[in-house]
């Protein structure tokens, strides 16, 4: 199967000297849904920003076999779309339609094509009837969906999501998970960071664990990661009094 994302020895240091990533290497195949977990500050969001070319670290990034460099940056990054954790960082136009149309317009599409792309994107996240509403008057969950639509309107091959269910109530999180399931069934390659155990157990093909040294310390199937109490304890993903996460859905009875 084709490799969608290949990262080799990627390191990143913030201007103040703080290490953001420390020789991270990974491969993600086309059509896979991969989840990255780790304690706060382990570099999960920093990795996504490097993949989008927003941050520029040392190391190699390839998207569908094309190396990311100054010459290829625009073409490579055009195959990815990033949904930020906070939708207010992504939505800034007068209406939902304008927010979703912003990307295609800047890619040079004509008005009719833009309208078609916006319609498809809003339909995919079940927000068609909100097109003329102000994004800033929506609920947090609705804003999340519009943020995803604003990325889908540019038709990326790879969808990057930073804590997609963070801050959502159970109903909104469940609705968002249904949307991600549909995108997964359509063959979209998805890479997401999360602390949401139900999202991991229901959606992930593979789980990567990032440790305090800002590197990937484990990669495996979700149920194997959940059952490794030592790994979870060492990486501050559970409290020592907690039992194993063998069945997250039944254990926490979430989104029922």
The token pair at 3 is 């490799």
Residue 64 burial class via C-beta count within 10 angstroms: exposed 0-12, middle 13-18, buried 19 and up: middle
pLDDT truncated to tens, each residue of the chain (256 aa)? 799 999 999 999 999 999 999 999 999 999 999 999 999 999 999 999 999 999 999 999 999 999 999 889 888 888 999 999 999 999 999 999 999 999 999 989 999 999 999 999 999 999 999 999 999 899 999 999 999 999 999 999 999 999 999 999 999 999 999 999 999 999 999 999 998 888 898 899 999 999 999 999 999 999 999 999 999 999 988 877 655 444 444 443 333 2
Question: Starting from the edge strand earliest in sequence, which strands make up the sheet with 158-162, in order?
Answer: 80-83, 158-162, 189-193, 33-38, 206-210, 216-220
Distances (CA, A) of 101 to 72, 97, 236: 24, 6, 41
> Element (H or E) spanning 155, and its range?
none
Angle between helices 140-152 and 96-106 (to 10 degrees): 20
Domains of the chain as residue ranges with CATH: 1-79+160-168+188-256 (3.40.50.300), 85-155 (no CATH)
Question: How far apart, in whole angstroms, are the C-alpha atoms of residue 256 and residue 253?
Answer: 6
């Amino acid at each position: 199967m084709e490799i969608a994302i290949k990262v080799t020895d990627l390191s990143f240091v913030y201007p103040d000297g703080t290490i953001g990533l420390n020789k991270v290497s990974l491969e993600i195949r086309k059509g896979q849904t991969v989840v990255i977990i780790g304690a706060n500050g382990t570099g999960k969001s920093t990795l996504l920003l490097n993949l989008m070319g927003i941050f520029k670290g040392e190391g190699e990034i390839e998207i569908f076999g094309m190396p990311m460099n100054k010459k290829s940056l625009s073409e490579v990054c055009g195959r990815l779309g990033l949904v930020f954790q906070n939708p207010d960082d992504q939505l800034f136009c007068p209406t939902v339609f304008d927010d979703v149309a912003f990307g295609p317009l800047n890619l040079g599409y004509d008005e009719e094509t833009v309208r078609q792309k916006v319609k498809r994107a809003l339909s995919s996240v079940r927000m068609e009837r909100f097109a003329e509403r102000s994004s800033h008057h929506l609920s947090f969950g609705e804003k999340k969906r519009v943020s995803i639509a604003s990325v889908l309107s540019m038709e990326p091959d790879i969808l990057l999501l930073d804590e997609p269910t963070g801050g959502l109530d159970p109903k909104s999180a469940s609705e968002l998970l249904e949307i991600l399931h549909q995108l997964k069934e359509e063959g979209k390659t998805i890479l997401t960071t999360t602390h949401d155990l139900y999202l991991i157990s229901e959606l992930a093909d593979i789980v990567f664990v990032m440790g305090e040294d800002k590197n990937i310390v484990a990669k495996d199937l979700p149920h194997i990661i959940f059952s490794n109490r030592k790994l979870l304890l060492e990486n501050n993903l559970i409290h020592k009094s907690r039992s194993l996460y063998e069945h997250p859905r039944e254990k926490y009875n979430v989104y029922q």
